Amino acid sequence: MFRKVLIANRGEIALRIIRTLREMQIQTVAVYSDADRSALHVRKADEAAHVGPAASRESYLNIGRIIDAARRHGVEAIHPGYGFLSENADFAAACEQAGIVFIGPASSVIRQMGSKTGARQIAAAAGAPIVPGVHEGSLEPSQAREFSRAAGYPVMLKAVAGGGGKGMRRVDREADLEASFRDASSEAVRAFGDGAIYVEKLIERPRHIEIQVVGDTHGNVIHLGERECSIQRRHQKIIEECPSPLVAMHPTMRTEMGDAAVKIARAAGYYNAGTIEFLVDDSRNFYFLEMNTRLQVEHPVTELVTGVDLVRWQLEIASGGKLPVTQEQVEWRGSAIECRVYAEDPENHFFPSPGKIERLSEPGGPGVRVDSGIYAGWHVPLDYDPMLAKLAVWSSTRAEAIARMRRAIGEYRISGIRTNLSFFERILSDREFADAVLDTGFLERFMARLPGPSEAPDQIVSVAAALAEKLTSRRVNDRPSEVAAVSSSWQLAGRDQIQR
């Protein structure tokens, strides 16, 4: 096993990785930019290397500086976390060249999966279901028209270099195709420096369900079940669950999607932890969407339900070890939910809300896991993703997990900045959420339904409405106030937070 590992990341995920490294008695090296001199991950690591100014391009994304820091500190391996360089094939190759182990798959696999049409080709060759569409990258608009005419509208134009919804356009009729193609392509050039476009049949109101896979360098690949990730805002997941409530109702889906995911990973020659994303339509057909060749933000819900430490497995695999269990030995127990806590203002268009954390009190108790990257007195910098922490809970049933999450949110106190904690309370108290009526349109419909739960006594609702009027300085044109009814004692107690 490695003696010393550098974590090429920041925030909660750097801390998450440091924790497992410490349990394994491996020395840790953090990296930090000018904006992160006093960040928690720097304080918790054994050693730390400054890698440049606040701008990510010149620090956390700077391959040369990260490799240089790794050399200076004498590490044998680099864990990239998620985001930043985690899916950068050039970085993985630079590690390989420098004789440092990249804790992830082979650079060639990252490159192959980075091309969305390349990924489709592998999935198709593996015999996994893919969305009807074309496999070739870089279509001409006329080829997209030909496909769309044959397959029927609506279709989805997508960037070959894409992901995250950038360079993606829904097209409902042939008359719109050319203009949409141009828009998608120029957006893809801006986002990825590559305007290549491909086309798929559009799946209406899909669920987003993904399978956690893990492979080792000896050719073993298993899956650890699914995560339901349908609750998203602008392609940003905010709540994730394991099991998917849909899969819990139809258990054969786990086996079928799991088998498909393992086939894809195997066909790619994949080792490391990875995620195969699927779209699921309203007839419960599933289709391969993309593969993420990294540890995911939402990995804790899988860890809570399977009991696996995915970071430990990544390290064992990267140092040449075999998977410690077979597929048959994987067990799923209970239900886990994760909320992504952001420094953003749900009352004001989710604008980022950086600033100084004045007071902080994190929840605890049975079944509660907080993966946090902040402390009281620290300034949340504006330079990076404003995710502060992930709050995850486990309980034996989904209903109990929801109750536990609401309890944990009630214990959470973050003051000095705005957070989206109150927004989670509203979602978790929503009837449709409780009934698991989920698809990727859930959040938009939920927001249109606000203001909130009408089960609250009329008196409270009217007091809350009056309070909301006072507190909201800005409103969305002439839509109703986005401030929901005060629905819990916590929200009443949380007025000081809203008022800041």
Are 191 and 166 contacting, i.e. CB atoms less than 8 angstroms apart? yes
Least Cβ distance, residue 248 to ligand MV4 (angstroms): 20
Q: Which two tokens stand for residue 41?
A: 């991950």
Q: Choose, by CB under 6 A, the member of 61, 89, 157, 203 that binds ligand MV4.
A: 203
Q: Choose, by CB under 6 A, the member of 290, 303, 338, 347 that binds ligand MV4.
A: 290
Alpha helices in 37-173 (DSSP H): 40-44, 63-72, 89-98, 107-114, 116-125, 141-151
Q: How many whole angstroms separate alpha carbon 194 and alpha carbon 138?
A: 9
Helix then strand then coil, in percent of the chain rounded to 5, is: 40, 25, 40
- Using rule CB under 6 A, residue 232 touches ligand MV4: yes
Are 431 and 407 contacting, i.e. CB atoms less than 8 angstroms apart? no
Q: Choose, by CB under 6 A, the member of 104, 206, 416, 494 that binds ligand MV4.
A: 206
495 given a catalytic annotation: no
**One-letter-per-residue 3-state SS of 271-311:** CEEEEEEEEECCCCCEEEEEEECCCCCCHHHHHHHHCCCHH
- Using rule CB under 6 A, residue 299 touches ligand MV4: no
Q: What track of x and - describes contact with ligand MV4 for positions 79 through 118 (by CB under 6 A)?
A: ----------------------------------------
Interhelix angle 421-428/398-411, rounded to 10 degrees, is 150
Least Cβ distance, residue 440 to ligand MV4 (angstroms): 4
Which CB atom, from 51 or from 337, has the smaller least distance to ligand MV4? 337
Least Cβ distance, residue 203 to ligand MV4 (angstroms): 4
Dihedral (Cα; 403, 406, 412, 415), 10-degree rounding: 180
Q: Choose, by CB under 6 A, the member of 11, 105, 137, 163 that binds ligand MV4.
A: 163
**DSSP character for 319?**
T
- Using rule CB under 6 A, residue 165 touches ligand MV4: yes
Q: Give the bridge partners for 32, in sequence order.
A: 50
Q: Is 236 helix (H, G, I), strand (E, B) or coil?
A: strand
Q: How many whole angstroms separate alpha carbon 257 and alpha carbon 278?
A: 8
- Using rule CB under 6 A, residue 131 touches ligand MV4: yes
- Using rule CB under 6 A, residue 184 touches ligand MV4: no
Q: Choose, by CB under 6 A, the member of 48, 161, 202, 264 that binds ligand MV4.
A: 202
Catalytic annotation, pick one of 10, 145, 294, 340: 294
Least Cβ distance, residue 261 to ligand MV4 (angstroms): 16
The interface with ligand MV4 within residues 423-462 (CB under 6 A) comprises: 440
Task: Say how many residues touch ligand MV4, by CB under 6 A.
Answer: 17
Q: Choose, by CB under 6 A, the member of 12, 36, 76, 200 that binds ligand MV4.
A: 200
Residues making contact with ligand MV4 (CB under 6 A): 131, 156, 163, 165, 168, 200-203, 206, 208, 232, 235, 279, 289-290, 440
